[in-house]
Amino acid sequence: MTDFVRKESGLREEDAVYDAVVPAGEGWMRDLEPGQVLRIVDLEGNQAVDTLFYDADDPEDHYSAAQTMAAQGGIYLTTGSVLLAESGKPLVTIVADTCGRHDTLGGACSAQSNTVRYAHEKEHMHNCRDTFMRLLAERGGYSKRDLAPNVNFFMNVPVTPEGGLTFADGVSSPGCYVEMRAETRVTVLISNCPQLNNPCNAYNPTPVRLLIWNP
């Protein structure tokens, strides 16, 4: 059995400077100042929280799954993982994690990938990439070119030694959370995944809670 690294946070909810619930299928985009800590709480368990990061001072420098995995020599994200931009600049560090493993290989669902993965008639269904693109359009200054492969908080996508990719049952449970500290001014883009075709969330997307603490 794989060892999961689970680490509790010392932060208290009543000290947070921001506290909001993002319903399933909704998005969220906000800047963090250096040292601020963002907590994502999986309120009902096994929800996928598709997340991208940008250097707020250089929005063309986006999160790089490949640089992040290569630098730590491992594919899963947990406490201690430093999430890097394409330039190699640290964007956020995971500082607490009661789930123990997060995915950055699986990317985000889209209308088009739903046609490929499930069936052509799934194209109309709400999906993460539509949420990402709507929020980028509303913010302005971003384009589809800025949509790089993302993090899937609370998702478990094991890779076998033989090179197989599987979507395993979730490793998260109600109330699990992950916390990350901003290492620079960082823009966080979240889609709280609306996927209804994948058993990994029991076909039931659920809300998440976001809290922010000042340094």
Partner 1 sequence: MEQQATWTKTLKPGGKWSGIIGRGRLVRLTALGPGANVSTLLYHADNPAERCNLPDTLKAQHTAHLTKGQVLMSDNGRVLASIVEDSLGWHDPLGAYTTRSMTDAKYGKTTYQELRNDWLRNARDNFATELVRSGLSLRDLVPAVNFFSKVWCDAEGRMHFASGHCPANASVTLRTELDTLFIFSNTPHPLDPAPSYPSVPVRIDVLPAEPVDPATDACVNFRGENRRAFDNTWAYIALRRNLG
Work out which of 115, 125, 139, 197 binds partner 1, going by CB under 8 A: 115
Residue span binding partner 1 (CB under 8 A) among the ranges 16-24, 66-74, 92-100, 205-213 = 66-74
Q: Is 197 in the site for partner 1 (CB under 8 A)?
A: no
> Closest CB to partner 1 among 66 and 137?
66
Residue 212 and residue 177: Cα distance in Å, rounded?
Answer: 13
Computed from CA positions of residues 192, 2, 183, 174, in that sequence, does the dihedral angle turn out positive or negative?
positive
Q: Is 55 in the site for partner 1 (CB under 8 A)?
A: no
Computed from CA positions of residues 49, 206, 131, 138, in that sequence, does the dihedral angle turn out positive or negative?
negative
Measured distance between the N- and C-terminal CA atoms of the chain, rounded to whole angstroms: 36
Residue 54 and residue 59: Cα distance in Å, rounded?
Answer: 5
Q: Is 170 in the site for partner 1 (CB under 8 A)?
A: no
Residue span binding partner 1 (CB under 8 A) among the ranges 6-14, 85-93, 175-183, 202-210 = 85-93
φ and ψ at residue 119, rounded to 5 degrees: -170, 155
> Closest CB to partner 1 among 45 and 106?
106
| Cβ 132 to partner 1 shortest distance, Å | 11
Q: How many CB atoms lie within 10 A of CB 105?
A: 17
Q: Is 141 in the site for partner 1 (CB under 8 A)?
A: no
CA distance to 162, 164, 196, per residue, from 158 (Å): 11, 8, 21
Work out which of 116, 203, 204, 214 binds partner 1, going by CB under 8 A: 116
Residue 188 and residue 82: Cα distance in Å, rounded?
Answer: 15
Residue 98 and residue 145: Cα distance in Å, rounded?
Answer: 33
Q: Is 106 in the site for partner 1 (CB under 8 A)?
A: yes
φ and ψ at residue 13, rounded to 5 degrees: -55, -35
Q: Is 164 in the site for partner 1 (CB under 8 A)?
A: yes
| Cβ 34 to partner 1 shortest distance, Å | 22
Q: Is 64 in the site for partner 1 (CB under 8 A)?
A: yes
Binding positions for partner 1, rule: CB under 8 A: 2-3, 60-62, 64-67, 69-70, 73-76, 86-88, 101, 105-108, 110, 112-113, 115-117, 119-120, 129, 143-149, 158-167
